């Protein structure tokens, strides 16, 4: 009886250590944009992808393409003007894949929801599934001692990426995931205070002053790190100024928005 009780206590302590270890991985995660030249094996990449697949899902409406061809990487680097595309040891393109999901549905019945004019539920679910896959893959990379960063270039230039990679209709490029052995140790990046994203039973309206205070604090922390200059090459630009330029609506932004919106509609992301 004593031995059995001891094993129960040890099992509880071991479970507690594992939980604390998992939380440590999550809380210590940083976006990494500088990597050592250490190659990452195909086995490790596969392990990360299999971990991504263990995320909750319904149809797995996503697909992953690893970009290894040097000429292709060079062309993508030219398009996005970002050397990270060439330098990342592993470059993964994550896509929404309604083509494969539609074919799976057709194998069950020809009269399925993706043949309809609108399918908002499946559209939102595919985005959620891709996000959960991505989160699992990132966490798996961290556990393996690797760093990662997400780049949103593919969605913003979806037509160019689709043309360059020859993606079929129904496959929508969303983000790049860069993975490798970290060659930097950045500090924790600012996040919204928990009170601004969490409430009970009812939606809690946020005060404008709380949002402004958060942006000011975030700007100061990132200024001390030299974040904008280090990663964006912009001297003397604050985080708030960077965000302002990124989200401002002008003729060029409207042209991009309309182009992306039409592309998504054409490829089955319909709400």
Tell me what the mean pLDDT of segment 174-178 comes to: 98
pLDDT in tens, 84-129: 999 999 999 999 999 999 999 999 999 999 999 899 999 999 999 9
Which segments of 126-170 are extended strands (E)?
147-151
Cα separation, 132 vs 153, whole angstroms = 19
**What's the token pair of residue 270?**
């319909």
Looking at residue 271, its pLDDT comes to 74
> What Rg value do the Cα atoms of the chain yield, rounded?
22
Cα separation, 92 vs 110, whole angstroms = 33
- With bands split at pLDDT 50, 70 and 90, how would you rate the model's confidence at 232? confident
pLDDT in tens, 254-269: 999 999 999 999 999 9
Looking at residue 1, its pLDDT comes to 45
- The CATH fold assigned to 28-186 is NADH Oxidase (3.40.109)
Tell me what the mean pLDDT of segment 55-75 comes to: 96
Partners of 35 in the β-ladder: 182
Q: How many residues does the chain have?
A: 271
pTM beyond 0.85? yes
């Amino acid at each position: 009886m004593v031995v059995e009780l001891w094993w129960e206590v040890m099992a509880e302590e071991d479970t507690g250590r594992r939980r604390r270890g998992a939380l440590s991985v999550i809380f210590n995660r940083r976006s990494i944009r500088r990597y050592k030249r250490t190659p990452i094996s195909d086995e490790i990449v596969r392990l990360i992808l299999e971990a991504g697949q263990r995320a909750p899902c319904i149809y797995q409406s996503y697909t992953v393409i690893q970009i290894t061809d040097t000429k292709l990487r060079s062309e993508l680097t030219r398009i996005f003007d970002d050397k990270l595309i060439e330098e990342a040891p592993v470059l993964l393109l994550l896509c929404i894949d309604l083509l494969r999901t539609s074919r799976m549905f057709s194998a069950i019945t020809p009269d399925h929801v993706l043949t309809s004019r609108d399918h908002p539920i499946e559209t939102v679910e595919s985005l959620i599934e891709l996000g959960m896959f991505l989160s699992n893959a990132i966490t798996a990379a961290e556990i393996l001692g690797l760093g990662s960063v997400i780049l949103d270039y593919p969605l913003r230039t979806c037509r160019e990426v689709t043309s360059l990679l020859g993606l079929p209709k129904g496959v929508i490029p969303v983000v790049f995931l860069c993975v490798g052995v970290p060659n930097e140790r950045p500090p924790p990046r600012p996040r919204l205070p928990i009170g601004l994203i969490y409430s009970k039973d009812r939606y809690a309206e946020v005060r404008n002053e709380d949002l402004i205070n958060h942006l000011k604090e975030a700007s100061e922390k990132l200024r001390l790190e030299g974040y904008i200059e280090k990663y964006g090459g912009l001297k003397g630009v604050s985080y708030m100024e960077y965000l302002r330029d990124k989200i401002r609506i002008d003729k060029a932004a409207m042209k991009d928005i309309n182009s992306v919106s039409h592309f998504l509609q054409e490829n089955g992301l319909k709400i």
